[in-house]
């Protein structure tokens, strides 16, 4: 099963069972510049979430082109027999890197002029994942994120079972690496300016890749900053999921998007949730 959100409306949803995605314009933006693409084969999934850079031309087209191209490049993972999919983790990393390169080429082909738009070349962030029972591989460029969530009662939320899997390419993260406390770094005037992206000027950019295994299973969340800006700590996101009482991936994605809108909806919001079975 496949869904390509190539031209997302103000609000779009896809439910493929173990994987689902919801995107929403939010309350402030004039259009939805986020995009997602997901595909499922049995208990494996390929998921991509992109956030078009609003200060560039045709950001909605850039995010859609990147998501579609990345998913097309990830399809070999879904087409392999289950035993072949359990190959060397490096193979998954290579597949994700190739997908991000393909997404970058697709963004460069997006028209660079937009009537009434910005003069900067089209660009977008990307976070992509391959999922199978007991294993997750994630790649990212920009500030769209991946989280590993283990829903817990509020009193257990400090256990550390939930965590962020990606590191933003942003001025805030640069400041943190230089010793600025995270809270102070994210209060800087240009904290959310990204330092790496897909598009012109970033050809050949290589994403950060992480491959990990899990014996317990859980939820993989890919999201844009329209969600995590309000609920940045993984424990807060896990608590929102726990309040849903063991809901399905699509219900969880809806609840997360609704929570971001209720918190202000200052940006476009996209949440893609995949249930990862134990190994």
Instruction: Determine the average pLDDT of the residues in 131-150.
Output: 96
Show the domains of the chain with their CATH numbers. Answer: 2-276 (3.60.40.10)
Residue 269 pLDDT exceeds 90: yes
Instruction: Determine the average pLDDT of the residues in 145-163.
Output: 73
Q: Which of 72, 30, 73 is nearest to 52 (CA)?
A: 30
H helices of the chain, in order, are 59-79, 82-85, 89-108, 171-177, 182-185, 225-228, 234-243, 249-262
Buried b (16+ CB within 10 A) or exposed e, 78-116: bebeeeebbeeeebbbebbbebbbbbbebbbebebebee
Q: Which segment of 197-201, 231-235, 272-276 scores lowest on mean pLDDT?
A: 197-201
Indicate the average pLDDT of the chain. 88
Residue with tokens 């807060």: 236
The helix (run of H) or strand (run of E) holding residue 112 is none
- pLDDT tens-digit map of 28-66: 899 999 999 999 999 999 999 999 999 999 999 999 999
- Cα 36 to Cα 46, 182, 185, 249: the distances in Å are 11, 29, 29, 15
| Residue 194 contacts residue 143 (beta carbons within 8 Å) | yes
The percentage of the chain sitting over the pLDDT mark of 90, rounded to a whole number, equals 66
Which range among 22-36, 163-177, 179-193 has the greatest average pLDDT? 22-36
3-class DSSP string for 158-215: HHCCCEECCCCCEHHHHHHHCCCCHHHHCCCCCCCCECCCEECCCCCCCCEEEEEECC
| Residue 198 contacts residue 100 (beta carbons within 8 Å) | yes
- Say what the pLDDT of residue 21 is: 98
Other Cβ atoms less than 10 A from the Cβ of 179: the count is 7
């Amino acid at each position: 099963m496949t869904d390509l959100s190539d031209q997302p409306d103000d609000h779009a949803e896809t439910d493929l069972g173990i994987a689902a995605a919801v995107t929403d314009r939010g309350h402030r933006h004039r259009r939805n510049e986020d995009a997602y693409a997901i595909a499922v084969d049995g208990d494996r999934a390929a998921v991509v979430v992109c956030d078009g850079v609003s200060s560039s031309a045709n950001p909605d087209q850039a995010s859609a082109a990147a998501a579609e191209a990345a998913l097309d490049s990830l399809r070999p993972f879904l087409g392999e027999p289950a035993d072949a999919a359990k190959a060397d983790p490096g193979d998954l990393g290579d597949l994700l890197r190739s997908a991000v390169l393909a997404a970058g080429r697709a963004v460069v082909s997006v028209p660079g002029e937009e009537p009434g738009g910005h003069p900067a070349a089209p660009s977008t962030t990307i976070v992509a994942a391959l999922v199978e029972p007991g294993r997750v591989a994630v790649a990212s460029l920009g500030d769209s994120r991946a989280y590993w969530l283990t829903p817990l009662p509020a009193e257990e939320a400090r256990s550390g079972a939930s965590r962020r899997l990606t590191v933003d390419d942003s001025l805030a993260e640069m400041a943190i690496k230089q010793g600025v406390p995270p809270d102070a770094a994210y209060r800087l005037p240009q904290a959310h300016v990204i330092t790496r992206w897909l598009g012109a000027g970033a050809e050949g950019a290589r994403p950060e890749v992480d491959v990990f295994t899990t014996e317990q299973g859980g939820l993989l969340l890919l999201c844009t900053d329209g969600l995590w800006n309000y609920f940045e700590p993984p424990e807060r996101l896990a608590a929102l999921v726990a309040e849903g009482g063991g809901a399905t991936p699509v219900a969880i994605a809806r609840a997360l998007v609704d929570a971001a809108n209720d918190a202000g909806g200052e940006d476009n919001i996209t949440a893609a949730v995949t249930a990862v079975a134990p190994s």
